[in-house]
Amino acid sequence: MLNSKHIDQLRRIVGKENILTSKEELLVYSYDATNMWQHLPEVVVLPSNVEQISAILKLANENLIPVTPRGGGTNVSGGSIPIKGGIVLCTTRMDRIIDINKTNLNARVEPGVVLQDFQAALAEEGLFFPPDPQSFSGCTMGGVVAENSAGPSCLKYGVAKQYVLGLEVVLADGTTMKLGGLTPKNRTGYELSMLFTGSEGTLGVISKITLRMLPAPKATRTIVAVISDVAVAGETVTEIIASSVLPSKVEFVDNWTFEKFRGLLPDEILDKSQVILLIQVDGLPETVDAETQQVVALCKSRAGEVRVAEDQAETDRYWQARAAHFSDISSRAHTIINEDICVPRDKIAEFIKLGQESAKKYDVPISFAGHVGDGNFHPVVLTDSRDKEHYQRSLKCVEEIIEIALSLGGVLSGEHGIGLEKQRFLKKAMDPAAIEIMKKIKDVLDPNHILNPGKIWEETSDEE
């Protein structure tokens, strides 16, 4: 497989300053935002242009060297873990915002552009890119597209795939392919751009991205509702959306992270409540005013406290408290198992109830949070991998929660992808014929299976 001769060839392709080989350097690229997976690569390569990516892949394909594409490494599915060793191909040095065209409402970027930087550049032009995962300060645009990322704003505006106009992709054999274009309408052959969007780096390496933009909303308003019962919170969300109001965000935080809201909301209300709903409406000022009144009226009949943020500073404090959920939960246990499922909105209350019953059955603590407006939940089971018995109970609880979601018409992943984390569940969630089609597509585009091997589906002996 990989040897010193290959590393010398890689140095000639990208320059010695863009090759990492020390154990300390490799360790940085051996994990992602999960805490269950780790594997050292044999070398990390940081290309600066598409020609270098092409040369790297051609070398790897000819010598059957595994290549794991990687951006910021913020994913939580094990998708960027170099489980087979080989090369980590990290695109973070390809970080140019090539063009922002306000007239055409589009932008072109390289894959290493950090989402937060992209959003800031768009804001200066009065534009925005709606997908906003919680990892926005570190995730890169290549990863956003490869994972088909989402986030709170996707309730109203849709996920990454709704904004991909075109891609430049390098295939496993080094072939560079341009797909799509600059126009919002494009019915030219198969939608191949969509094939690579959400492919988790298993079909090609994205080297350039063309995206559709939207004008930034003229006004926004945040409503906070504190509700005593989880099921009632779920019913409230369902009723808000059924009332013909489509908020841009509806976020759900349970009482595991209420401490972040102390000082913002009354202690006596928080102490007897289970859920905080954060709801944002946006649009024209008069529309925002009307929709805010409607949401407040719907919430007041169910919530112990309903507040409308008075200014941007108060708004920011609420959303910062929500954004801290994952890190806050992570600090509560040695090991957390963070899941990502999606259920139909009319099944939200039932899913939460059954999930809590499962956690009680297995005697493990569980926290619920997520983008509840579109039924996307992130149940987190708190455990300790050093306590084998507790850890096994936690895994059984997680498996049952996933089965509950599927039984309610939900899906295995709303936004995190499959990677390593969920491949054992894929057969339960997807038609076997569809899995076989995916494998055939992989065979056509990457016949030697060098690109991100070992991900999405479990390998059989003849694939290893």
So what's the pLDDT on residue 331? Answer: 85
Are residue 104 and residue 148 in the same domain, yes or no? yes
Residue 221 to residue 288: CA distance in whole angstroms: 7
pLDDT 10s digits, 277-334: 999 999 999 999 999 999 999 999 899 999 999 999 999 999 998 888 888 888 888 9
Strands 87-90 and 43-45: parallel
Residues whose CB falls within 8 Å of the CB of residue 168, separated by 6 or more in sequence, listed in order = 50, 176, 177, 178, 179, 206, 207, 208, 209
Work out the mean pLDDT of the chain and round it to a whole number. 93
Residue 432 lies inside a defined structural domain of this protein: no
Give me the residues paired with residue 206 across strands. Answer: 169
Per the DSSP assignment, residues forming a β-bridge with 335 are: 383
Is residue 48 within 8 Å of 94, Cβ to Cβ? Answer: yes
Longest dimension (CA), the chain: 71
Instruction: Give the integer Cα–Cα distance in Å for 16 and 1.
Output: 21
Claim to verify: residue 119 and residue 82 sit in the same structural domain? no
Q: Domain count of the chain? A: 4
Q: Which tokens belong to 448?
A: 């030697």
Determine how β-strand 214-215 pairs with β-strand 249-254. unpaired
State the pairing for strand pair 87-90/67-70.
parallel
Q: Which residues, listed in sequence order, are joined to residue 377 by a DSSP beta bridge?
A: 341, 370
Token pair, residue 111, equals 């894959």
Instruction: Examine residue 437 and state whether it is found in any structural domain, yes or no.
Output: no
Same domain, 167 and 84: no
Domain boundary among 69, 90, 111: 90
Q: What pLDDT, in 10s, does the model give residues 134-176? A: 888 899 999 999 999 998 898 999 999 999 999 999 999 999 9
CB atoms under 10 Å from CB of 178, counted, come to: 13
Amino acid in position 425 = F
At residue 1, the pLDDT reads: 75
CATH number of the CATH domain containing 59? 3.30.43.10
For residues 106 and 198, membership in a common domain is answered with: yes
Instruction: Among 215, 237, 263, give the residue marking a domain's end.
Output: 215
Say if residue 227 is in the same domain as residue 211: no
- Tell me the two tokens of residue 314: 């108060």
**Does 286 share its domain with 364?**
no
pLDDT tens-digit readout, 235-276: 898 889 888 899 999 999 988 888 889 888 999 999 999 999
Together in a domain, 107 and 40: no
pLDDT in tens, 54-72: 999 999 999 999 999 999 9
H or E stretch covering 213: none
pLDDT of 462 above 70:
no
Within 8 A by CB and 6+ apart from 107, the residues are 97, 98, 99, 100, 101, 118, 122, 127, 129, 210, 211, 213
Domain hosting residue 409, numbered range:
327-423
Task: Say what percent of the chain tops pLDDT 90.
Answer: 77
pTM for the full predicted model: 0.92
